[in-house]
Amino acid sequence: MYDMERSVKSFLDSSEFKEGDKKGIDVPVFNLESILEATNYFSNENKLGEGGFGPVYKGIFLGGQEIAIKRLSSHLGQGLEEFKNEVVLIAKLQHRNLVRLLGYCIKGDEKILLYEYMANKSLDTFIFDRTLCLSLDWEKRFDIILGIARGLLYLHQDSRLRIIHRDLKTSNILLDEEMNPKISDFGLARIVKGKETEANTMRIVGTYGYMSPKYALDGLFSIKSDVFSFGVIVLEIVSGKRNTGFYQSKQALNLLGYAWRLWNEEKALDLMDQTLIESCNRGEVFKCINVGFLCVQEDPRDRPNVSNVLSMLTNEATTPLPNPKEPAFVAKKWISFAPSSSFDKPETSHSNNELTVSTEPGR
């Protein structure tokens, strides 16, 4: 186990992609010509969307096989690092709630990843759209929450490598034909050694609204950083609202602030997406809100691990869940809304880490 861990980390830490490195990659190499034909030379008609590190296209190969093709943008300085992360890590991870890597291509400046095609795109496409959200009743939303948690548990505990995702968000949760969730986009993921559960970085990259305070301010990331992001996702799935860019009230910075106010007023169920009123199991909804708040508590030590999260969500016993402490808030005053930029730290922080934050588009 640890020998594989060391070899993978050594490859990821190197600044090159050598011919010999291909031997350690568990998925096939595709030739560029076949990819160009499958995507009609990366035509706009085949474009599925824009990921954090480049556009994603639908490709149709011989026999009609549909594949999602991510073309890493050559102008991104960290492109090789993210490419190596994905091609190595996803190839070694296999779980029904993780997107499956089918192959890769590297030729000249082109760095391309090929994934199983997800017919329903990403979770944010549905829950934040007032029409498409109608196709996600409560039972399906609860199944999606459980699926994300199971995928995360595999990354943190059950896989051959202990992985911290670092960029968990609704747009990185893909949905297959049956609306089963699959965690995607491992470009920022990190391996932690053995039984370690945290690490730090000089390069802080993530998405505003999903980043835990310790990571955003100090560069300290851990499995509890992913738990924080998961908690935000749970509250977004329940409410149908984004954590950022929705609330205008001075009393609530974001969805977490608004939801916390409802919780303190004993009106937690008012947070629920109104389209769920007829289909919801009120006990499950309340449980999800409670667990969501436990996950976004300010102190990482107070947050449950994913194993405990799953236990709380699936336990049908009437034992009350712990009461959450006030959630962490990210002060808007020091975060710019320019997509993917570097920022100086607030005066209260003495870290020299570089901070790069992406913003999710508003509704």
CATH number where 148 lies: 1.10.510.10
pLDDT of res. 165: 94
Q: Is 111 in the same domain as 138?
A: no
The domain boundary, picked from 98, 116, 134, lies at 116
- Between β-strands 110-116 and 66-71, what pairing exists: parallel, antiparallel or unpaired? antiparallel
What DSSP letter does each residue of 273-296 carry, written as one string? -GGGTTT--HHHHHHHHHHHHHHT
Q: Is 192 in the same domain as 274?
A: yes
Q: 112 with 63: CB under 8 angstroms?
A: no
The range of the structural domain enclosing residue 173 comes to 123-358
SS3 content of the chain, % helix, strand, coil (to 5): 40, 20, 40
Q: Is 277 in the same domain as 309?
A: yes
Per the structure, the count of domains in the chain is: 2
Q: Name the token pair of 333.
A: 């005053």
The domain boundary, picked from 116, 133, 168, lies at 116
If we measure between CA atoms, which residue out of 88, 48, 85 comes closest to residue 68?
48
Q: Is 163 in the same domain as 249?
A: yes
The domain boundary, picked from 95, 116, 137, lies at 116
Q: Is 59 in the same domain as 23?
A: yes
In a domain, 195, yes or no: yes
Q: Give per-residue pLDDT as tens, 206-224.
A: 788 898 888 877 778 899 9
In a domain, 363, yes or no: no
CATH number, domain of 100, equals: 3.30.200.20
- Judged by DSSP in three states, 250 sits in coil
Residue for token pair 């993921």 = 189
pLDDT of res. 360: 65
Q: Is 308 in the same domain as 333?
A: yes
Task: Give the helix ranges, DSSP H, for 105-212.
Answer: 123-127, 138-153
In a domain, 296, yes or no: yes
Helix (H), strand (E) at residue 179: none
Q: Is 127 in the same domain as 112?
A: no
Q: Is 104 in the same domain as 129?
A: no
What residues are annotated to the active site? Answer: 167
Helix (H), strand (E) at residue 342: strand 341-343
Q: Give per-residue pLDDT as tens, 94-106.
A: 999 999 999 999 8
Say how far apart CA 126 and CA 132 lie, in whole Å.
5
Rounded to 10 deg, the angle between the 223-239 and 306-314 helix axes is 30
pLDDT of res. 89: 82
Q: Is 105 in the same domain as 144?
A: no
The reported pTM is 0.85
Name beta bridge partners: 103: 114
How many CA atoms, within 13 angstroms, populate the side-chain half-sphere of residue 154? 18
Name beta bridge partners: 67: 59, 116
Q: 104 with 113: CB under 8 angstroms?
A: yes
Determine the average pLDDT of the residues in 302-327. 94
In a domain, 235, yes or no: yes
Q: Is 79 in the same domain as 209?
A: no
Q: Give per-residue pLDDT as tens, 17-58.
A: 655 556 667 789 999 999 999 999 999 999 998 876 789 999
In a domain, 251, yes or no: yes
Q: Is 142 in the same domain as 96?
A: no
**pLDDT band at 238; cut points 50, 70, 90:** very high
**pLDDT band at 345; cut points 50, 70, 90:** very low
Determine the average pLDDT of the residues in 143-163. 94
Q: Is 165 in the same domain as 247?
A: yes
